[in-house]
Each structure stands twice: as C-alpha cells, then as structure tokens.
Structure 1
Amino acid sequence: MIKIMDRLLLFLYSLLVGAAAVVAISIGAGWVTKRMAGNSIDQLYDGSPWIPATVIIVAVVVLLLSLRFFYVTIRRDSASVPSIDQRTDFGDIRISMETVENLALKAAAKQRGVKDLRARIRVADAGLEIVLRAVVDGETPIPALTEDIQRAVKEHVEDITGIPVSLVTVFVANIIQSQTFKSRVE
C-alpha cells in the first residue's frame, strides 16, 4: 500500500516539477514578456486573497513531497536483502539467502569430481529448495556423485542454519574436457 501511495505522490510531484520547468523555460526563452510576468506578480500581491493562498498550498505540497522522497531515498529498507527469518526463545535470527547459497556451494565443492558450481535457493513451505548447476570431471560416476552432493549439501545446510532442506536438485551441465594431445605423423 505504501509503495502505491509513493508512486502516486511521485506522479503528482513529477507533474508539479514539470509545470515549474515549463514556466522557467518559457521565461528563459522570452515567451513570457516582462509585462506578462509583472502582471502575474501584481495579481499575486494585489489580486483576490485566494491566489496567494493557492501559491502557499502548492509550495507546501511540493515541499512535503520533496521531504517524503528525500526520506524514502535515505532510509534503510529492511526488505532489500532477501533473508530467512527465524524466531527463537532469545530473539530473532535472520540468515541471508546469499549465506545459504554459499553454504550449499561449500558443501558441494568438497565432493571429488566437481569442478564448477552455481546455486539457487528458494524458500518453500516444506523447507529450502536448493538447485545446483555443476560441471564435473567425467571420471566419477555421475549418479553416485550427484547423490553424494545432494546428501552433503542437505546435511551441511541443515546443520549450520537449522533450517530444513526439502529438496536438493543437481543439474550436471557439462563435463570438463581433458586436454589430450594427438601426435601428428607426417
């Protein structure tokens, strides 16, 4: 709801600043003569009482909008870093998704035959879902290797974070091609 309100306020602010820019461009380009500007200023001071009140209201609205957007830009957004929140008897614990990702990568990298890894973490109702993309050496049997990776990642992440892991998916993207040199006979 607040983001929708901020967008509406930003739209209103953009219109007001745009109108002020058009007026400034018109004055700077000479489209508004000194006489026209003087008449407008004279009406502001000598005209009906609602004109100064309108100017004051518009100026206050622009000032408040400016302050609001200044606050939005400098405040620290707690939702900016995705994390997993846990409540304990002693208080709250927040573990960033990046931390869980690095734990999964660390556990998978310890397995023999794994050369390159990437991880993606998703939070589901049953627990964490971890998807690993791996490049392997091609010398270790892939079914045994992926099973070892799944077990190691699940146990390591659960032991360190205390968060249940419901699924570990391993996608073997490729195998490392070993450099073999064939001799040429001429």
Structure 2
Amino acid sequence: MAKILDRILMFIYSLCIAILSVFVILLLTDTVPLNLELLERQPFYVGTWVVAIVLLLISIRVFYISISRDRSSATSIDQRNEYGDIQISVDTIENLSYKAASRVRGIKEVKTRIRITESGLEIVVRALVDGETSIPVLTEEVQRLVHDHVEEITGIPVSYVSVYIANLVHSPVIKSRVE
C-alpha cells in the first residue's frame, strides 16, 4: 500500500513540476505574453532557462519512474507441472537458505539474498563466524548445504552460492569471581 501511495505522490509531484517548467519556458519564449521586467535581465534570464529545463527533465524522469513497473525483483518463482502451477516466493527461498546455512557449526549470524537468473538461482550468504573454525571449510560446507537444501526442497536449480564472511562474533568474556 505504501508503494502505491509513493508512486501516486511521485506522479502528482512530477506532473506539477513539469507543468510549472513548461509554463516558465513558455514565458521565456514569449509564447505566453506577460510583462515581467525581472525576466528581461540577462543573468536571471539564462538562469531561469537552465533551471526550467533541468526541472523539466527531472520531472520527466520521476514521471517515468512513477508509472513504470518494478521488474527487477520477482516476488515469486513460477513453475508448471502436470497438475498445475506452483509459485514459490523469494522469501521462502531466502528462509530455506538461512535455515541450511545456520546449521553449520561455527556460523553465528546469517543473512541471505536471492537473485533469479536464466541459469538458476544465485544465492548470496552473508555470515558472521565464531573464529574457531577454518573459514574455507566453513564456506565450502555452507555452499554445499545451501545448494543441496534449496535444490532438494524447491526443485529449482541453483547456479551458484556465494558466501561472504563479514566478521567474527565477539562473545563476551565471562570472568569468574573468587570470593
């Protein structure tokens, strides 16, 4: 709902700015006769032209954005089988990736991102590690588990899994008290 409201507001705003810019351009070209001595001064005249044209171009761009569809991110992956259609949301695949990566011992915090390509799913896993396990071993295990788990559960081919180790988790040091 918020995205629709934002698009409507962008549409109205860009339309108003475009109308205002066109009106100023018409004033400057004497298409609309209006006697303003301020517009006849040379520095103000050139500046007004530049501002009017820039605002017109920006409003056209914002207008285009407000009416165009967002095709870059798919909300689901559609498959068809002999019984009908199947739709699996990208959120579901992100959660499956999260679940598989979280099972690896040594991985502490996980975030996943999914990109849909022609060759299959591209999964990016961002993780924090405990620092006590070999990072190459951890990343290979995360890649294997995420790849196999997502393909097995969804039936969608995974083209590759990229693992980014962001940092180490700093566990609090507990000091024992001697009394």
Give the TM-score band, short-chain normalised: 0.5 to 0.7
Cross-structure match for 1:88: 81
Give CA-to-partner distance per residue, 1:133-160, whole Å, 9 cap, x none.
1000000100000000000000000000
Match of 1:154 among 147, 152, 170: 147
User: Match for 2:116 among 105, 109, 123?
Assistant: 123
The amino acid of 2:130's aligned partner reads: D
Larger Rg: 1
The letter for the 2-side match of 1:129 is: E
TM-score, length basis structure 2: 0.56
Over the aligned positions, Cα root-mean-square deviation in angstroms equals 2.6
Counterpart position of 1:37 = none
What is aligned with 1:100? 93
In 2, distance between residues paired with 1:106 and 1:159? Answer: 13
* Corresponding position of 2:104: 111
2:128 partner amino acid: V
SS at match of 2:170: coil
| Matched-pair identity in % | 55
> Matches of 1:103 and 1:176 in 2, distance apart?
23
**For 1:182 and 1:159, how far apart are their aligned partners in 2?**
45
Aligned residues: 110
Structure 1: segments with no counterpart, 5+ residues: 1-6, 16-78
Partner of 2:131: 138
| Unpaired stretches in structure 2, ≥5 consecutive residues | 1-7, 17-72
Write out aligned runs for 1:13-52 (5 A): none
Amino acid at match of 1:152: L
Instruction: Give TM-score scaled by structure 1 length.
Output: 0.54
What CA distance in whole angstroms lies between the structure 2 residues aligned with 1:91 and 1:180?
56
Confirm whether residue 164 of structure 1 aligns to residue 148 of structure 2. no
Tell me what 1:21 maps to.
none
Equivalent position SS for 1:163: coil
Residue 181 of structure 1, CA deviation: 6.2
The 3-state SS of whatever aligns with 1:140 is coil
Read off the aligned partner of 1:134 and give its amino acid letter. A
Deviations 1:95-129 (A, max 9, x none): 00000000000000000001000000000110000
CA distance in structure 2 between the partners assigned to 1:145 and 1:85 by the alignment: 32
